[in-house]
Structure 1
Amino acid sequence: MDFDSANKSCSFCGFQGTSETRFAGGLGAMMCVDCLEFYHHKFSSPERLETISRPPWDKMSDTEILAKLPLIADTATQVNGFLGEWVQMARERNLSWAEIGQALGVSRQAAWERFAGSKVRKNSSTA
C-alpha cells in the first residue's frame, strides 16, 4: 500500500500532502492536522457542537460550489485507489474474486473486470 503522504490529500479541505505531512484517516479518507484540530474543537463540547446546525454548502456561493468540485473528484479518486489497494491485498491473501465480489455486492466477474487490470498481481483465473 502507498503510505507516502505526498500522494494523499485531505478529504475535508483538499490540502495536498507533502513528504512531511501527517494525516489521520482510514478507508481512503484522509484528514490533515488542521482539520483534525478544527473538528476536534467543534465536537469537544455540546455548546460548540450546536454551532453546526446547517451543512457548510448551504452558505456557499455558486463560485465556491464549483471550486469544491475538483477537490471532491480528487477525494473520490483517492478513495477508489485505496479500494484498489485493498482488493490487491485481498488477492495477495488468496481471497477469490467471488469472495471479493460478494463483499462489494457485485458478481465475481464484475469485481474481476474492475480490478484485475490494476495492480492486482494474483492469477485472475482463480475463482
Structure 2
Amino acid sequence: MTVTREGRICSFCGEPGGPGTDLPLVGGLGAQVCARCVDDFHEMLHDEDLMAAARSAFPWESMTDAELLATLPMIMASAEQNTAFAHEWVDLLRTRQVSWAEIGRALGVSRQAAWERFARKSGDKGATA
C-alpha cells in the first residue's frame, strides 16, 4: 500500500496538484498545500501590513453569499480528501497486520467501530483482533 499525492488538491486554494501537474503539493495528515499558497503565506508572514490585515478579520466575514456558496464545494473536497487519506492510512496499517483493536484504540473507539468505519472501503473483511 502506497499513499501518494496523485489526484490531490491544495487544502487552501482547492487547485489540483501533485504528480503530473505544474503545481507541486506538500503536506501531511491529509492536508496538502501547493507551492503558490506556501509562497503567499511566506510573503504574508514577512510583511507587517499583510499580517495585520490577516489578523483583523476572517476572509469569510467580507464575502458575499455567492462567494460563500462558491467556496463550499472546495471545503467539501478538502474534507473528502482528508477522509480518503484516513482510509488509506488504515489500509496501510492493515497491510502491516495492525489489528482492528489497535486501530480502534488509537482512534478512541472500539475495534468494531473502527472496522465499521474503515473496512468496507478497504475491502478488508477480517474483523479479527
TM-score (norm. length: structure 1): 0.87
In the TM superposition, what is the alpha-carbon distance from 1:120 to its structure 2 partner?
5.2
> 2:90·2:118 contact (CA, 8 Å) conserved in 1?
yes
CA distance in 1, matches of 2:66, 2:42: 28
CA distance in 1, matches of 2:28, 2:5: 14
Gaps of 5+ in 1: none
Describe the shift of the 1:46–1:102 C-alpha distance in structure 2 as closer, same or farther (beyond 3 A): farther
2:79 to 76, 88, 93: 76
Q: Distance in 2 between matches of 1:101 and 1:44?
A: 42
Q: Which residue of 1 aligns with 2:28?
A: 26
Contact kept? 1:91, 1:120, Cα under 8 Å: no
- Compute the RMSD of aligned alpha carbons: 1.8
- In structure 1, what is the equivalent of residue 15 of structure 2? 15
Going from structure 1 to structure 2, the CA distance change for 1:95 and 1:2 (only over 3 Å counts) comes to closer
Q: Distance in 2 between matches of 1:2 and 1:8?
A: 11
Aligned-residue sequence identity (percent) comes to 43
1:17 maps to a residue whose letter is G
